[in-house]
Structure 1
């Protein structure tokens, strides 16, 4: 199997940067600062038209935990249909029960709605109370891969669990390491776990291209600078990609 480098993005500028830097797959999101939410239909369509590599859409209707209401699930089903209408290659999902197990029945419903698309199970697994059971549940669902940090704040910190999950999976599903992956730790993660897929955003910021204006208006949280635009760093992606060679 070839190594895969998935880059999560939340704007069209970052799509072009990620592809040029060597990404092999895109996780399309909105609001990466919140952990990634569902992208708009317009973003899905434009990204697919512009992309030369597979695009998987995050299907997550709100920030927070992964215990979703019936109304949340209906939104997710509609968003999956949007991903299909945009001709995307796959979706990224994760739904848990109140006692922190994989909600197999709801996931089956989402996967059925996504028929014809690839499916990644995201870091909801990192909130499961029994990661070994969660892995088996996700395998039974027929997902292609699992994105996980090994239930730690970063993939490097969770490296032992990542290695165990890879061994338990035994080729039945791909384990993809994500959270805090960068050029300084990517090779160690690959070598010590045996996995072949990495996930990162390579986040940086650029200054607004607007002319200087004087305004006290704030569009969001007071600690967010509206004139610093979060984007993917070409160098961050390229430097991890170079490790694969």
Structure 2
């Protein structure tokens, strides 16, 4: 099986690195430290210019849960249009109701907008917070999504292997199950062989030192974040997974 490797990034330096490492698809975000938020319009446009592989943009207007009100929905619908006008290939999204079920009325609005603009859809890890993943998977399929990103409802994909396997069997080729969270070169082949997922998702995260020549004690954000370390995707972590999968 040829396993797709999707790399999630939140800066354009990481896009270059992900492509260099052999990524098959990009999930474009801002703020990966918050689980990924919607990228800016400028970032969408430049990613479309740079990338030689499909780019899907995260549509998530804020951090926190996946319960979105009417203001959030307005933003999400506008951001889906921005993805299309920027030349991207798809969107990554998900909306839940307070009881943990998929909010189908809102998902239909978002999915219909994406389909009308010929954008592919990935349903993201909101499914890992759902109250009934088997029902949720069937609903995601009816929405016309191309794939669902999931850790198998666990803290990471390795711990979620049993449910990932169940999802692949239930999907039966109707939708791709993409395993994400904690995927690396050490466990990628085991996860793929055990579950038969057709796609793996990771950030390949690392850091590089800031190019600033002078340091300051001023903090731009939380005190536990080092402004002089820049998070970037490591191209070698992506290429190492591709090698591991063929070993």
Q: Cα distance, 1:2 vs. partner?
A: 3.4
In the alignment, the residues of structure 2 paired with residue 84 and residue 2 of structure 1 have an alpha-carbon distance, to the nearest angstrom, of 28
Runs of 4+ displaced beyond 4 Å: none
Q: Deviations over 1:77-118 (max 9, x none)?
A: 010011011010000010001110011111110111112000
Q: What is the SS of the residue equivalent to 2:66?
A: coil
**Structure 2 match to 1:41:** 41
Q: Distance in 1 between matches of 2:14 and 2:208?
A: 11
- Kindly report which structure 2 residues correspond to 1:136-151, keeping only aligned pairs within 5 A, or say none: 136-151=138-153
> Unpaired runs of 5+ in structure 2?
none
For the residue of structure 1 that corresponds to 2:19, the secondary structure is: helix
Residue of structure 1 in register with 2:109 after alignment? 109
Counterpart mapping for 1:224-239 below 5 A: 224-239=225-240
* Alpha-carbon offset, residue 3 of structure 1: 1.7
Counterpart position of 1:118: 120
Helix, strand or coil for the counterpart of 2:197? coil
Quote the residue 2:160 is aligned against: 158
Aligned residue among 171, 186, 189 for 1:187: 189
Q: Mark the runs of 5 or more structure 1 residues left unpaired by the alignment.
A: none
TM-aligned CA deviation for residue 210 of structure 1: 1.4
| Cα distance in 1 between the residues matched to 2:207 and 2:91 | 27
Is contact 2:188–2:245 with CA below 8 Å preserved after alignment? no
Question: Where does residue 84 of structure 1 map in the other structure?
Answer: 84
Q: Distance in 1 between matches of 2:160 and 2:134?
A: 14
The equivalent of 1:51 in structure 2 is 51
TM-score under structure 1 length normalisation = 0.98
Structure 2 residue matching 1:199: 3-state secondary structure: strand
1:216: how far off? 1.9
Which structure 2 residues correspond to residues 197-208 of structure 1 after superposition, within 5 A? 197-208=199-210
How large is the RMSD of aligned CA atoms in angstroms? 0.8
Larger mean Cα displacement after TM superposition, 81-90 or 1-10: 1-10
CA apart distance, 1:243: 2.5
1:244, distance to aligned residue in structure 2 (A): 3.2
For residues 154 and 64 of structure 2, what CA distance do their matches in structure 1 show? 17
Question: What's the counterpart of residue 135 of structure 1?
Answer: 137
CA distance in 2, matches of 1:27, 1:241: 18
Which residue of structure 2 aligns with residue 219 of structure 1? 220
TM-score by length of 2: 0.97
Q: 3-state SS of the aligned residue for 2:207?
A: strand
